[in-house]
Amino acid sequence: MSEGLLIAAAVEAGEAAHGAPTAFGFLTAPMFIGLAMLTVIAIMIWKKVPGAIGRALDSKIAVIRDQLDEAETLRKEAEALKAEYEKKSKAVDKDRKALMERAQHEADEIIAKAKTDAEALIARRTRMAEDKIAAEERSAVEQLRATAADAAAKAAARLIAERQDPATDAQIVNRAIGEIAAR
C-alpha cells in the first residue's frame, strides 16, 4: 500500500510541476480554441461571408416582402370580389322577390279569369238549358193545343152531326144571312 501511495504522490507532484498541457509553452487549450475562432472569423471576414449572409438575408427579405405585397393584393381582390358578389346576391334577392310578386299577381289574375270564365260558361250553359226547356215547353204546348183543337173539332163535328137536322140548318143559315145583311 505504501507503494500505491508513493505513485499517487508522484503523479500529483508531476502535475503540479508541469501544470496544464500547453502548446509551444504558452498556448493552453482555451487559448488555442480562442485563436482558432479568431482565425475562422478572420477568414470569414476576408472572404466577405457577412456580406454574403447579409445579401442572402436581404434577398430573402425581398422575396418575403414581395410575397406579402402579393398576398395583400390578393386579399384586396378577394374583398372586391366578395363585395361584388354581395351586391349581386342582393340584386338577385330583389329580382327573386319581384319575380315572385309578379308570378303571384299573374297567378291571381289567371285564377280570377278562370273563375269568371267558369261563371260565364255556367251562365251560358244554364241559358242554353233554359232555352231548350222553354222550346220543349212551347213544343209541348203547341202539340197540346193541336191535340186539343183536333179533339175539339172532332167533338164539335160529332155534336153537330148528332144535333143537326134540316130545320136547324135552315135556322143557322138564316141567322148568318141576317148578320151579313146587318153589316
For cell 242554353, name the residue. 128
- Quick check: helix, strand or coil at residue 23? strand
- The angle, 0 to 180 degrees and rounded to 10, between the axes of the packed helices 49-163 and 29-46 is 60
Q: Which residue has the higher pLDDT, 155 or 114?
A: 114
Percent pLDDT > 70 in the chain is 86
Give the count of beta carbons closer than 10 Å to the beta carbon of residue 23.
11
Q: Inform me whether the pLDDT recorded for 161 exceeds 90.
A: no
For the stretch 75-119, pLDDT in tens is 999 999 999 998 888 888 888 888 889 999 999 999 999 989 888
- Grid cell, residue 143, equals 202539340
C-alpha closest to that of 93 among 79, 78, 101: 101
Residues written for the chain:
183
Domain ranges in the chain? 31-164
Give the C-alpha distances (Å, rounded to integers) separating 175 from 25, 138, 160, 164, 167.
195, 39, 17, 15, 12
What pLDDT is stored for residue 8 in this prediction?
A: 55
pLDDT-based confidence at residue 5 (cuts at 50, 70, 90)? low
What pLDDT is stored for residue 16 in this prediction?
A: 46
Q: How far apart are the first and last CA of the chain?
A: 201
Question: CA 117 to CA 136: how far, in whole Å?
Answer: 28
Rounded to 5 degrees, φ, ψ at 28 are -90, 175
- Quick check: helix, strand or coil at residue 108? helix
For the stretch 12-49, pLDDT in tens is 544 444 566 776 777 788 888 999 999 989 888 888 88
For the stretch 127-143, pLDDT in tens is 998 898 988 888 888 88
pLDDT-based confidence at residue 6 (cuts at 50, 70, 90)? low
Name the DSSP letter for residue 24: T
Q: Are 18 and 10 in contact (CB under 8 A)?
A: no
